[in-house]
Amino acid sequence: MLKNNHKQNANRLLMKGLLAFSIVASLSSTVYADQERGTHRTAFQRVEGDLSVMVLGSGGPMATAEGRASAGYLVFTDGKPRVLMDVGGGTYQRLAQSGTNIKDLDIVLLSHLHADHTGDLTPVVKTIYFHNNLARSAAAAQGVILPGRTAPINIYGPAASTLPVTTPGVYYPTPSGPVLVYPSTADYVNGHFSITKGGVERYLKAFVAGISDDDGPMLPGVAVSNFAYTAHDEPSTVPGATLNNVLTTPDGLVIDSIAVDHGPVAALAFRISYKGHVVVYSGDTGTKGIGPNHLGQGNMVKISQGADLLIYDTAVMEQGDAPPNPLFHILHSEPSLIAGVAKAASVKRLVLSHLTPVTSPRIDEVKSIIRSAGFTGRITEAKDLAVYNLGDDD
């Protein structure tokens, strides 16, 4: 009995320490974010209206002194964090600075499986459960008992690359034959979290229950959290691609995807619609105008029709300019092609993101090229922790 009491007291002290540390860290991050922007409001406090987007990462795959995090965008419906689009390196830190509690976040969209779009997936997933604990602790202080989180985190992304095994898009040899470079999203996620399929971070199942068991050790009937997820593969074949409904919720949130051209990489663009507002995210795409079907470019026009906000991959300048390596122009969109998509789709506002050392210092030139190509809507340079409230001119 004494041993059990000692263990329970130790667990309580550990939990209190973790909660105190989390609160202090959150407050410190909030102050830092405010100082950086000369404002007294966190990014979360700037969210308002039906549909909003917070930029968690506006940069590309390379660490630079400019300090942009890699790709990541948090979408809010009615002021509540609802959807995470990509979760590249640095998005975890930006999330902390934003002052946002994501305890109820249940939708993660991965445009493709490059590390600068997925690198902070596990830290952010872990944060969901810590944020749930913070909310439970705050409620308990008011005499309200909240259950641990049991709702799954639903992760959507492209199906495996469809390259045939005779192409250079495979690795040779393996004991079982050639292997595609890019797995399916389900294989990627299971490889992280699945207990039965050997996920390298399968410890989360036990860890999540343990940190939420305030009375420890998991007494019968105690409302502890349960780590649960689902993984979904969406169509990723580019030629002939049509809009694919990822999900539609009872409250009217609609998420669609379409396969886009990112060279040999299976990749998706996403469209989020809610209460008459539309956000589209290109992910990474070259949008080359190849052949009569305009491979890639036509797909982006389809998914972007009438968008209030189009967030676009802006990693390269025009062909023949920078970078000199033509591979980057296959994988990413030149400003004139971005303009062509935005103009053809009658987009209201274009947000230039996934900025690199090539495009960030030349952003005014990028905007000028897009204007010269005939796009007349608003153009904005994405910055980490910027917030876009649809229907709000700010």
Predicted pLDDT at 284: 97
Are 118 and 156 a contacting pair, CB within 8 Å?
no
Q: Strand (E) positions, 210-348?
A: 229-234, 244-248, 254-259, 268-274, 277-281, 289-290, 295-296, 309-313
Residue 250 DSSP code:
T
- Pairing verdict, β 51-57 and 387-389: antiparallel
Query: Per-residue pLDDT for 132 more than 70?
Result: yes
Write out pLDDT tens, residues 187-198.
Answer: 999 999 999 999
Q: 54-58, 126-130, 137-141, 274-278: which range is least confident on average?
A: 137-141
Residue 394 pLDDT exceeds 70: no
pLDDT, one tens digit per residue, over 103-118 is 999 999 999 999 999 9
Give per-residue pLDDT as tens, 192-232.
Answer: 999 999 999 999 999 999 888 876 665 555 678 999 999 99
DSSP calls for 133-146: HHHHHHHHHTT-PP
Is the entire prediction scored with pTM above 0.95? no
In the numeric block, the tokens 């308990």 are attached to 140
Burial of 310 (0-12, 13-18, 19+ CB in 10 A): buried
Closest CA to 308 of 272, 254, 332, 354: 272
Amino acid found at 18: L
First-to-last alpha carbon distance for the chain, in angstroms, is 61
- Is residue 179's pLDDT more than 80? no
**Domain 2-389: which CATH class?**
alpha beta
Helix (H) or strand (E) holding 335: helix 335-344
Which candidate, 283, 275, 382, places its Cα nearest to that of 54? 382
Q: Which residues contact 63 (CB under 8 A, 6 or more apart)?
A: none
Q: How many residues does the chain have?
A: 394
* Other Cβ atoms closer than 10 A to 371: 13
